[in-house]
């Protein structure tokens, strides 16, 4: 993902040249030697203040060759103590570790454990690291700190969903560009950490989804990436009125994972004081809940909720939390009825006896965050300063047509009014449909879909996410707020609602779709871009901008993790050779500005990007018509 394709392994511990040769050989490599090109990728070492010199291959009599990061070769006495540059010949990993040879394996000692992962072309990978032992069903997890050795060469089981997965599933995955050689590495050498929480309606998903492979984000962003599993559905969110089974087990798992990361990530090169939590959809709802949770506040330094659901209809409980009594009525009692446990002497013991796949496959499922009094103590994230909220930088936003994934496709005789009701929206709460004009195109069903998708996006995503940013800024709840709208997308291969509306249209010269043409920019359409995994997931490039757009997004997200500012440092880009992002920033002609009390502004993420005002109209007439105006949290708290 850079114009520079060279790579080396940097051994930063000073050593003699013979020791350097042996150290490289222990990695299955040898001392590196410049191949005659400019080797500009070494400039990043100089940018970091590590100009060297470094041992490289070659001897002249009793002297050994060395090289500075800015390309000056020299000769030093071989017993001198210096860092070294080794070759890096590991291949790009497939979805899990397939080569049983030990060539690329590497072992880290952390706490009382040793953990063996492996190196690939982009990073060091530790897959399936246990962060919690399997807890008893419907109890809270705790940090795993046992002694012994474990292999982290393959992903751990996903959490139970349908007839797949396991209850022993509390694993995380680590991608890192740096492994310390000292037991207590200095804070200056540690990398920022990005901890990803997957979506899936709190009922599905896994941190081992190849969509979220961290290799590109790590190698390009110089950050540590972590993805996690957490308990899903009834296993993760059941609450009963027994005074003990209080729900939020999946949310508590996320906090347990954060605690594990705090205790251990230094040994994998990550800085526990610079953790950015980020997630999409239900993962964004998780991030929002963690911003409100007294048990989580202080365990991370920044947050990126992507496409958080908030507002009416399906979106309501993602950001407006049930009481336990409400959850019992809505979800727990139907589960108890379906399993024959409603009148059991102990409902929770009865549910513990049910086969996990039977319980997971019920029509009824408990999947809601609740006010349990410990993990969540308010019925929403208090962005008006009246309750617990983490005072951290936040970057947040939505897909232009996020709501298009949450409605059906109309029939020939549907009107906007009938179709809105058919999809569960209450017309009586919409003061005027006239602010959502129906297109006058040749395809009448597409016209109806278009308008309804706009209503769904505004009422379930845009309006209350913008109101969140506005209120948080008004009350200084977050230290900084950056807001975005994605207006270019690459729909996931396995999730494309109402096909083909979310896919770029096939046109002459664009056999894989023309992303510059008009189409719906749907829910999850930003994920391949965010992780730089279009090609990794076997998807074709649609035009010449798919890769540069992904590079720009990776650089933007990782810049926020490094500096809490999504505008990449031009000197960083220059040192890394990231010319596409440099050109995009120059072409767009403006920086991404934070939301302020005077400026309701967002970044329109397309290619090129630009700075815009909130909403189609700055007056927020659509949101006002839906009952979710910009001042919603000012007037409803």
- Give CA angle at 145 (12, 191), nearest 5°: 30
Which candidate, 303, 326, 319, places its Cα nearest to that of 378? 319
Amino acid 70: pLDDT: 87
Residue 613's pLDDT band, with cuts at 50, 70 and 90, is confident
CB of 248 closer than 8 Å to CB of 324: no
Cβ within 8 Å of residue 153, ≥6 positions away = 96, 97, 105, 116, 117, 118, 127, 128
Q: Rg for the chain (alpha carbons), in Å?
A: 26
Residue 327's pLDDT band, with cuts at 50, 70 and 90, is very high
For 223-266, what is each residue's pLDDT tens digit? 999 999 999 999 999 999 999 999 999 999 999 999 999 999 99
The residue extents of the domains of the chain are 8-87, 105-325, 393-635
Amino acid 590: pLDDT: 86
> d(Cα 253, Cα 239) in Å, to the nearest integer?
15
Q: Write down the residue that tokens 């060469």 correspond to.
A: 153
Amino acid 578: pLDDT: 95
Residue 617's pLDDT band, with cuts at 50, 70 and 90, is very low
CATH number of the domain located at residue range(s) 393-635 in this protein: 3.40.50.1820
Spell out the CATH class of 105-325. Answer: alpha beta
Amino acid 429: pLDDT: 84
For 412-466, what is each residue's pLDDT tens digit? 999 999 999 999 998 888 888 888 888 888 899 999 999 999 999 999 999 999 9
Amino acid 96: pLDDT: 44
CB of 252 closer than 8 Å to CB of 141: yes
CATH of 8-87 among 3.40.50.1010, 3.40.50.720, 3.40.50.1100, 3.10.100.10? 3.10.100.10
**Is residue 184's pLDDT more than 80?**
no
For 339-358, what is each residue's pLDDT tens digit? 999 999 999 999 999 999 99
> d(Cα 356, Cα 360) in Å, to the nearest integer?
6
Amino acid 3: pLDDT: 54
Please indicate whether the domains covering 8-87 and 393-635 agree at the CATH topology level: no
Coil, helix or strand at residue 373:
coil
For 554-591, what is each residue's pLDDT tens digit? 999 999 999 999 999 999 999 999 999 999 999 988 89
The first and second tokens of residue 339, run together, are 């399993």
> What is the average pLDDT across 6-19?
92
Query: Could you give phi then psi for residue 465, rounded to 5 degrees?
Result: -70, -40
Coil, helix or strand at residue 276:
strand
CB of 215 closer than 8 Å to CB of 125: yes
E-assigned strand segments in 18-157: 54-60, 63-67, 73-77, 82-87, 105-110, 113-119, 124-130, 148-151
> d(Cα 295, Cα 399) in Å, to the nearest integer?
30
Tell me whether residue 140 is exposed, middle or buried, using C-beta atoms within 10 angstroms of its C-beta: 0 to 12, 13 to 18, 19 or more. Answer: middle
For 500-553, what is each residue's pLDDT tens digit? 999 999 999 999 999 999 999 999 999 999 999 999 999 999 999 999 999 999
């Amino acid at each position: 993902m850079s114009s520079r394709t060279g790579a080396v392994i940097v051994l930063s511990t000073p050593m003699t040249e013979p020791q350097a040769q042996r150290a490289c050989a222990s990695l299955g490599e040898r001392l590196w030697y410049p191949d005659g090109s400019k080797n500009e990728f070494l400039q990043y070492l100089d940018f970091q203040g590590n100009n060297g010199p470094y041992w490289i291959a070659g001897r002249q009599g009793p002297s050994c060759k060395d090289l500075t990061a800015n390309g000056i070769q020299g000769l030093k006495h071989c017993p001198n103590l210096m860092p070294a540059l080794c070759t890096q010949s590991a291949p790009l990993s497939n979805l899990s570790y397939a080569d049983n040879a030990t060539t690329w394996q590497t072992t880290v000692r952390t706490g009382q454990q040793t953990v063996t992962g492996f190196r690939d072309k982009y990073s060091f990978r530790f897959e399936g690291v246990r962060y919690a032992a399997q807890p008893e069903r419907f109890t809270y997890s705790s940090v795993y700190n046992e002694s012994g050795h474990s292999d982290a060469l393959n992903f751990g089981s996903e959490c139970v969903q349908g007839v797949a997965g396991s209850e022993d599933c509390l694993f995380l995955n680590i991608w890192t560009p740096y492994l310390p050689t000292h037991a207590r590495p200095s804070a200056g050498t540690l990398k920022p950490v990005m901890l990803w929480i997957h979506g899936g309606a709190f009922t599905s998903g896994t941190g081992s989804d190849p969509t979220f492979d961290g290799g590109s984000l790590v190698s390009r962003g110089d950050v540590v990436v972590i993805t996690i599993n957490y308990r899903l559905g009834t296993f993760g969110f059941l609450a009963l009125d027994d005074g003990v089974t209080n729900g939020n087990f999946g949310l508590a798992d996320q906090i347990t994972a954060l605690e594990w990361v705090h205790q251990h990530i230094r040994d994998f090169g990550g800085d526990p004081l610079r953790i950015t939590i980020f997630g999409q959809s239900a993962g964004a709802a998780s991030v929002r809940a963690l911003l409100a949770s007294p048990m989580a506040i202080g365990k991370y330094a920044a947050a990126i909720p992507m496409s958080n659901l908030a507002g009416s209809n399906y979106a309501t409980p993602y950001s407006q939390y049930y009481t336990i009594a409400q959850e019992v009525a809505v979800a727990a009692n139907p589960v108890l009825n379906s399993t024959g446990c409603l009148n059991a002497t102990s409902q929770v013991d009865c549910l513990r006896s049910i086969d996990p796949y039977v319980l997971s496959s019920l029509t009824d499922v408990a999947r809601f965050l609740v006010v349990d009094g410990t993990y969540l103590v308010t019925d929403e994230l208090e962005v008006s300063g009246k309750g617990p909220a983490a005072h951290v930088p936040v970057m947040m936003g939505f897909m232009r047509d996020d709501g298009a994934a949450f409605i059906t496709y109309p029939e020939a005789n549907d009107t906007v009014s009938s179709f809105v009701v058919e999809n569960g929206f209450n017309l009586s709460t919409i003061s005027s449909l006239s602010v959502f004009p129906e297109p006058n195109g040749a395809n009448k069903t597409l016209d109806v879909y278009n308008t309804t998708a706009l209503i769904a996006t505004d009422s379930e995503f845009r309006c209350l996410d913008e109101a969140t940013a506005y209120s948080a800024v008004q009350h200084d709840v977050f230290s900084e707020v950056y807001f975005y709208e994605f207006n270019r997308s690459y729909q996931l291969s396995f999730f494309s609602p109402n096909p083909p509306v979310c896919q770029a249209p096939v046109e002459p010269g664009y056999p894989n779709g023309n992303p510059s043409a008009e189409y719906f920019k749907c829910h999850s359409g930003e994920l391949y871009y965010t992780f730089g995994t279009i090609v990794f997931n076997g998807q074709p490039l649609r035009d010449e901008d798919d890769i540069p757009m992904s590079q720009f997004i990776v650089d933007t997200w990782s810049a926020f993790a490094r500096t809490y500012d999504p505008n990449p440092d031009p000197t960083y880009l220059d040192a890394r050779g990231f010319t596409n992002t440099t050109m995009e920033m120059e072409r767009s002609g403006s920086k991404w500005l934070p939301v302020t009390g005077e400026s309701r502004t967002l970044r329109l993420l397309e290619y090129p990007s630009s700075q815009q005002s909130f909403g189609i109209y700055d007056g927020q007439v659509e949101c006002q018509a839906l009952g979710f105006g910009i001042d919603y949290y000012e007037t409803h708290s």
